[in-house]
Chains A and B, each alone.
Chain A
């Protein structure tokens, strides 16, 4: 630690005004404040200085994402070796390595493109480098199917960072969740690579690893895809080999799906970290689940199709619902900020996600659209909450006057 600090202090003059690398001062500044909490304080007025700043906040979120990411890597390998029929003959470590090698390029591309744009813009506008992309860059690889080509991720990330973030003024000013805009761009631009039953399980090899032929009876359809297309309300959801799976499998998450979203268990570990450190709001997170459960209970009462009759637990565990509720609906920038507003915002995210998933025949999953849609309404919710509060207090003031 001491050596690192000394090294930074030694090279610092190069990056300051007049130094030979002064044009990269924001890059240096970004790394320095990432490694060490800056000791600069405000010069005027009285302020309470919290030791946690936004770089530290983002690091905790990354930490919370790790269980889901590691599980996702393992699951990528697991689904692949299941599909080629070699699962029993393959060691745990090989399975994980396969997934690790398959996911790593996506993380590198997402960070490379996103941070590249951030650095250029920061340099150009003479800002500090902002840390918002630290989390977005990790979320992006976790919410795409494993077979999404890298260039598509690069294009979509560039689009999202420029049009959903920098245009609005950078980190903290964006209306929409940047990672979800990336996914929405991919979803609408390249629908064949983002949905269906071909993309969620990697059937080819990764860097020459895990080659094999697909076993007979293989189907890469996700559980939600099967439910959406089922003609019979009492559909039996199966894994890639056709064995029936149930609620427990949905919870643990060894099922086909986008990389980080399948395991509700791993996501819940992340949720505990976020709630325990107080980074995410339990009000938003909880009300998303309540909203989803509420509307599914109503659907269950009516019934009539496979999606309508799927139980509350299954719906909460399947697809990107848990991932969105824990990591994306709680984004402090794009969600509602008033305390009452958080309940309304979260509840409506849950309701709309399930509505899109169940009622709209075109989309088997609705979490992305629900969160983006509510991002638009979050400022309005805040406005109404604040306004209602003002009215309430005005009324009270009048009563005492009379």
Chain B
């Protein structure tokens, strides 16, 4: 079996759109709301989740035949927790400011439904390479949504992108103001809702009857 067979491509590309963990399966919404007020923390959070998801998937997939079925959730949690702690420590060492902004949400990756969902649904039944692809695919699917949401929230809420001023000063002089509501969590939910709306309008097969 080749590394990039049709099936593997499907595993990798599915979560990007048709089977997106956030906007189709509606998992991991909490963190999508909490860290998307600015692009930078959203990007760091996306990378962290993708890394944890990919490696947790691989490790669980390798262990899948030795894990006793009754305690599999605990084993999964231990693996995820270990990876999350590593990520957290790396962030504290190399990106302290962002780590402070993300505060507890890096630690809370452990409770992210996407992780447990992929481990249970995919890694326990598939080989390490497929699991790795699945983890990266889902991680990127999550990241796309986070970054789109954060883009609009930061642009409209703070007038900046990655901390750089993009809304020109003359607009402010003319009376433009940043929209404070975009910084608040409700608008993250509404933005995610709009993306779901857009996605379903384009993909008729996702629409419920």
Please, how many angstroms separate the alpha-carbon atoms of A149 and B171 in the complex?
14
Please, how many angstroms separate the alpha-carbon atoms of A253 and B190 in the complex?
38
Residues of A within 8 A of B176 (CB): 151
B26 at the interface (CB under 8 A from A): no
Please, how many angstroms separate the alpha-carbon atoms of A233 and B33 in the complex?
42
Per-residue interface assignment for chain B, residues 171 to 199, with 1 indicating a CB less than 8 Å from any chain A CB and 0 otherwise: 00001110111101000001000000000
A189 at the interface (CB under 8 A from B): yes
A15 at the interface (CB under 8 A from B): no
Nearest residue in A to B181 (C-beta to C-beta)? A189
- A187 CB to closest chain B CB (Å) equals 9
Residues of A within 8 A of B175 (CB): 149, 151
Nearest residue in B to A190 (C-beta to C-beta)? B177
Residues of B within 8 A of A163 (CB): 190
Nearest residue in A to B190 (C-beta to C-beta)? A163
Q: B190 near A191 (CB under 8 angstroms)?
A: no
A188 at the interface (CB under 8 A from B): yes
Total residues of chain A contacting the partner, CB 8 A:
12
Q: B190 near A189 (CB under 8 angstroms)?
A: no
Residues of B within 8 A of A190 (CB): 177, 179-180
Select B181's contact among A151, A188, A193, beta carbons within 8 Å.
A188
- A93 CB to closest chain B CB (Å) equals 30
Q: A188 near B177 (CB under 8 angstroms)?
A: no
How many residue pairs link A and B with beta carbons under 8 A? The number is 20
Please, how many angstroms separate the alpha-carbon atoms of A191 and B177 in the complex?
10
Residues of B within 8 A of A149 (CB): 175
In chain A, positions 321-355 with a C-beta closer than 8 Å to chain B are none
A185 at the interface (CB under 8 A from B): yes
Per-residue interface assignment for chain A, residues 170 to 200, with 1 indicating a CB less than 8 Å from any chain B CB and 0 otherwise: 0000000000000001001111110000000
Residues of B within 8 A of A188 (CB): 180-181, 184
- A401 CB to closest chain B CB (Å) equals 43
Q: B177 near A193 (CB under 8 angstroms)?
A: yes
Please, how many angstroms separate the alpha-carbon atoms of A185 and B182 in the complex?
10
Please, how many angstroms separate the alpha-carbon atoms of A151 and B171 in the complex?
13
Nearest residue in B to A150 (C-beta to C-beta)? B175
Please, how many angstroms separate the alpha-carbon atoms of A163 and B175 in the complex?
25
- A222 CB to closest chain B CB (Å) equals 21
Residues of A within 8 A of B180 (CB): 188-191
Please, how many angstroms separate the alpha-carbon atoms of A155 and B177 in the complex?
12
Per-residue interface assignment for chain A, residues 68 to 109, with 1 indicating a CB less than 8 Å from any chain B CB and 0 otherwise: 000000000000000000000000000000000000000000
Residues of A within 8 A of B190 (CB): 163
Please, how many angstroms separate the alpha-carbon atoms of A149 and B176 in the complex?
9
Nearest residue in B to A189 (C-beta to C-beta)? B181
- A294 CB to closest chain B CB (Å) equals 31
Residues of B within 8 A of A185 (CB): 181
Nearest residue in B to A149 (C-beta to C-beta)? B175
- B69 CB to closest chain A CB (Å) equals 43
In chain A, positions 139-166 with a C-beta closer than 8 Å to chain B are 149, 151-152, 155, 163
Please, how many angstroms separate the alpha-carbon atoms of A185 and B142 in the complex?
28
Nearest residue in B to A191 (C-beta to C-beta)? B180
Please, how many angstroms separate the alpha-carbon atoms of A192 and B184 in the complex?
16
Nearest residue in B to A152 (C-beta to C-beta)? B177
Please, how many angstroms separate the alpha-carbon atoms of A192 and B190 in the complex?
23
Please, how many angstroms separate the alpha-carbon atoms of A151 and B182 in the complex?
17
Please, how many angstroms separate the alpha-carbon atoms of A149 and B175 in the complex?
8
Residues of B within 8 A of A192 (CB): 177
Residues of B within 8 A of A152 (CB): 177
Please, how many angstroms separate the alpha-carbon atoms of A25 and B131 in the complex?
56
Binding site for A on B (CB under 8 A): 175-177, 179-182, 184, 190
9 contacts between A and B (CB under 8 A): A149-B175, A151-B176, A185-B181, A188-B181, A188-B184, A189-B179, A189-B182, A190-B177, A191-B180
7 extra A-B contacts, CB within 8 A, seeds A189-B180, A189-B181: A151-B175, A155-B179, A163-B190, A188-B184, A189-B182, A191-B180, A193-B177
Among all A-B residue pairs, the 9 with the closest Cβ atoms: A189-B181, A189-B179, A188-B181, A189-B180, A190-B177, A149-B175, A191-B180, A188-B180, A185-B181
